[in-house]
Amino acid sequence: MKKFKCEVTKTYNYEIEIDESVWTGEELKNWSKVFQDVDDLQDIAEILAKMKTNYESGEFIEGFGIPKINGEIPFVWNDPEGKTVSKEININILDEYCDVDCEEI
């Protein structure tokens, strides 16, 4: 049986839009009490960016719901009309790149 050592490097580039009329200072305080400390919308964007790397489009992200992707409501199998989508959050996927270095060992 052959064995291979593979190193996978992924790069994600997102542009995240958050409606500040929904994610107010008061909302950030309330969110912080339940999830993790945040000071501003940049903290929220950083958390969203990190979490998005582990979630597919149309998947529920704990603390945020289902964000729009590239300005569109993603298909949600149990909600085809997108009623559970967090329309105040949009993640524009600018680039997702995967590189694999593989060698036989």
CB 16 within 8 A of CB 49: yes
Query: What is the reported pLDDT for 67?
Result: 95
Q: What is the pTM of this model?
A: 0.84
Strand ranges across the sheet with 4-18: 4-18, 85-104, 66-69
- 91 backbone dihedrals φ, ψ, rounded to 5°: -110, 110
End-to-end CA distance of the chain: 11
Between 84 and 42, name the one with better pLDDT: 42
CB 69 within 8 A of CB 93: yes
Query: What is the reported pLDDT for 75?
Result: 81
pLDDT at 30 over 90: yes
